[in-house]
Amino acid sequence: MPSANAPSVPGLTRTHFSDDGSTAVEVAIKIAATALCLAAGYRGGKIFPVAFVGGGIGLALHLLVGSIPLYVAVAVGMAAAITTALGLPATAAITAASILAPEVLPLALLGLVAAYVVHLLADHLVSVGGAGGQADASVTAARAG
């Protein structure tokens, strides 16, 4: 089982993880379980399930690109996921600052900003694409009528 140094976490000198694909399965199960709970009306928060998923994706990225340190990949993944889920970068920054070590916070904040920009671009593309599709349908209906 591979291990990596985790210098930013007090009291934690080694982190052990599996690289046999179980991390991807755990992340997929967590996403499905969170979506099911939210769809069923669960009133709990979504920040920590999202942080777990972001950390898992960061771990998977570390496994794919070994040159990215584990603690950096997990921290950036967590911050980016929280930002994307909330859509509130200031709240996500405060949350990230409260759960991440100070040594990785600047990189996590860069990931947070990048995730927010991608979130805004995706929202813009969806709104532009949705309006164009509706306009095209109304024009086609008017021509047919």
| Domain residue limits, the chain | 3-114
**What band does 30 get if pLDDT is binned at 50, 70 and 90?**
confident
| Residue 80 confidence (pLDDT) | 93
Beta bridge partners of 3: 16
For the chain, the residue count is: 145
Q: Inform me whether the pLDDT recorded for 121 exceeds 70.
A: yes
**What band does 49 get if pLDDT is binned at 50, 70 and 90?**
confident
Query: DSSP for 18-84?
Result: --SSHHHHHHHHHHHHHHHHHHTT--S-SHHHHHHHHHHHHHHHHHHSTTS-HHHHHHHHHHHHHHH
Residue 100 phi/psi, 5-degree rounding, is -110, 155
User: Model-level pTM?
Assistant: 0.65
Q: Which of 139 and 114 is assigned the larger pLDDT?
A: 114
Report the candidate in 1, 70, 67, 61 with the shortest Cα–Cα distance to residue 27.
61
